A and B are shown apart, each in its own frame.
Chain A
Amino acid sequence: MGILQELAKVFFKIGLFGFGGGYAIIALIRHLVVEETKWLTNLQFIDVVAISQVTPGPLALNAATFIGYKMGGILGSLVATFSSVLAPFILVYVASYFVHNIGKEKVDLYLSLLSPLTFALIMSGTYSILKDSISDAFSILLFFISLFLGYKAKWSLTRILLFSGIIGEIFYLLFK
């Protein structure tokens, strides 16, 4: 199978099974692009997640464009991006056409039943990112500093990323 077809297949799946959004989708994308196809290494995957946090658009789309470009150039990025939104587009479109009234109770029940799955996916994604990003004593230190800045000092994510990136940079250039 050519790379374009493979990109289309993988990102169509990500669109079709991408429930929960946000961090919940990390486990799914990681499984497909790191473990199954090996298009990205563990570390490159975290880098894509990091980039996605400070650029427009959701992770699934950002990952599609990035990996599509990496594996198949501009055409690859178009194919992957298009494939990643194909299933959601069709589903939402068809539902908009047919469904005019949805019982609020049913929707609430559905969403509340979906939440254990979403949280389990977030846990699993967090576990793999945590495991891969902590590589030495200094990264453990950075992890706790960032945790403190986010939790206690209530810094915004962009600010924490910038800070942590610069501190990491200084350490890396001096000691690595």
Chain B
Amino acid sequence: MKLTDLFFIFLKIGWLTLGGGYVMIPLFLEEIVKKRNYMDEEEFIKALTLAQLFPGPIAFNLAVSVGYKLKKIKGAIISALAVVIPSFVSILVIAIFFLNFQKLKIVQGFFYGLRPAIASAMVLAVFEIFKKRKWNTLNFLSFLFLSIILIVFKINPIYIIISSLIVIILWVYFKN
């Protein structure tokens, strides 16, 4: 496998990840494991686990950890670059248009209609979470507590993320 192969595979994956998130994981599996056998499924799961531990878009993190596994530093950089380019190019083009034409009534009208739909998609996502998730009491109480301080007291999310992480990491560390 050459670096250019890696570049084009991740470029393709980058184009296909509409909206981002976990939906693209099967796509990685298909391209890297099933079609080309660059790594076996176990190695892929390891790379995925690593990608999930850290902040950052999952598709990006996965590209870096897979790229590293296959071609070390060069692989990591090439994969990272390739997976970002499609997003960068398409948003840049849209930004140029949007910022030039956002004052037009026709553009404003369309976005006026879009906004409640986005809100509904998020409300639906919240529904799904509550339906699927099996909550234990502790998880539910910490969820409730964190939501209230975020929404009611408007505390900077960064402080909440940092303090939660400290608690979580200590917890995991001392559990054994």
Contacts and interface: CB of A to CB of B under 8 A. Distances in A.
B1 interface: no
Interface string A62-95: 1001100110001001000100010111011101
B105 A88 contact: no
B111 A165 contact: yes
A51 B146 CA distance: 28
Contacts of B3: none
Contact of B146 (A120, A139, A157, A171): A120
Interface string B1-36: 000000000000011111111100000000000000
Interface in A4-60: 13, 15-19, 21-23, 26-28, 31, 43-44, 46-47, 49-60
Interface in B32-69: 46-47, 49-61, 64-65, 68-69
A87 B50 contact: no
Contacts, number: 341
Contacts of A74: 92
A89 B161 contact: no
Nearest to B150: A124
Contacts of A114: 164, 168
Contacts of A115: 133, 139, 143
Main secondary structure of the interface of B (DSSP, over half): helix
B157 A57 contact: no
A61 B106 contact: no
B20 A58 contact: yes
Nearest to B122: A126
A165 B172 CA distance: 46
Interface in B101-160: 102, 105-106, 108-127, 129, 133, 139-140, 142-143, 146-147, 150-151, 156-158, 160
Contacts of B73: 93
B139 to A, nearest CB: 5
Contacts of A65: 87-88, 91-92, 95
A135 B106 CA distance: 18
Interface residues on B, range: 35 or more
Interface string B84-101: 101110111011101100
Contact of B111 (A50, A85, A109): A50
B124 A151 contact: yes
A111 B108 contact: no
B76 interface: yes
A77 B92 CA distance: 8
B78 interface: no
Contacts of A124: 147, 150-151, 157
Interface of A: 13, 15-19, 21-23, 26-28, 31, 43-44, 46-47, 49-62, 65-66, 69-70, 74, 77, 81, 85, 87-89, 91-93, 95-97, 99, 102, 104, 106-107, 109-117, 119-127, 129-130, 132-134, 139-140, 142-144, 146-147, 150-151, 157-158, 160-161, 163-173, 176
23 contacts: A17-B161, A55-B94, A56-B14, A56-B17, A57-B20, A58-B87, A62-B87, A66-B94, A85-B60, A85-B84, A88-B60, A92-B76, A109-B175, A111-B52, A112-B139, A117-B142, A120-B150, A126-B125, A134-B119, A142-B117, A143-B116, A151-B127, A172-B105
